[in-house]
Structure 1
């Protein structure tokens, strides 16, 4: 299979389908419709022969002092082919080009040992990640 990395965001439907296929928590359609256009940067991976979007990642934040990498997903049928690494390379190239000195770049890792190759470190014990889900 041949893949193409594109500097674009997925559609709402593609976003929800990829999160579901990857076993990630659901996001409401309203939330995705409102949130995607507010992304700082995003990439997708397309399987060329089918045209299917099989991977995505994006950055949200203020575009200056805070960059949060999120929604990194690769469809299970296309994992273990370096697609996540290609997306992270693109994300980090964007950060290197656009983030001012001392900008805070963070993410919530769900895979041990993957993000460290781009210089990410655990924050504990200095800080801890927390979340709140709106109901």
Structure 2
């Protein structure tokens, strides 16, 4: 919740139970980073919710999380790894090896 500026922790168990993987980074037994790898049940996996505690940013944690997500997704049969991100994260994801694609999104609620 500190990474997202959320007031209270949220129950992620329904989301994580459907994930291909979820990866955490810890410091002194405290969760300081997280990434969720969702998938379509086939060859496409999706990085969601890459997060690092504000006090631990700019130390390579997010890069290591994304690389581990790539490794695990490949190991579990995914052939493609997708990620959507805000414009200010373009440099980060390009440095991780992602290339730009055209995509669309619609807000349902």
Q: TM-score, normalised by structure 1?
A: 0.66
Count residues with an aligned counterpart.
Answer: 106
Question: For residues 108 and 77 of structure 1, what CA distance do their matches in structure 2 show?
Answer: 24
Task: Kindly indicate whether the alpha-carbon contact (under 8 Å) linking 1:63 and 1:99 is maintained by their aligned counterparts in 2.
Answer: no
Q: Secondary structure at the match of 2:105?
A: coil
Which residue pairs with 1:41 in the alignment? 21
Q: CA deviation at 1:95?
A: 2.5
Q: CA deviation at 1:133?
A: 4.3
1:104 to 80, 84, 88: 80
Task: Kindly indicate whether the alpha-carbon contact (under 8 Å) linking 2:25 and 2:61 is maintained by their aligned counterparts in 1.
Answer: yes
Name stretches of at least 5 consecutive residues in structure 2 with no aligned partner: none
Name stretches of at least 5 consecutive residues in structure 1 with no aligned partner: 1-16
User: What value does the CA root-mean-square deviation take over the aligned residues?
Assistant: 2.4
Q: Does 1:22 align with 2:3?
A: yes
Larger Rg: 1
How is 1:87-98 mapped onto 2 (pairs within 5 angstroms)? 87-98=65-76
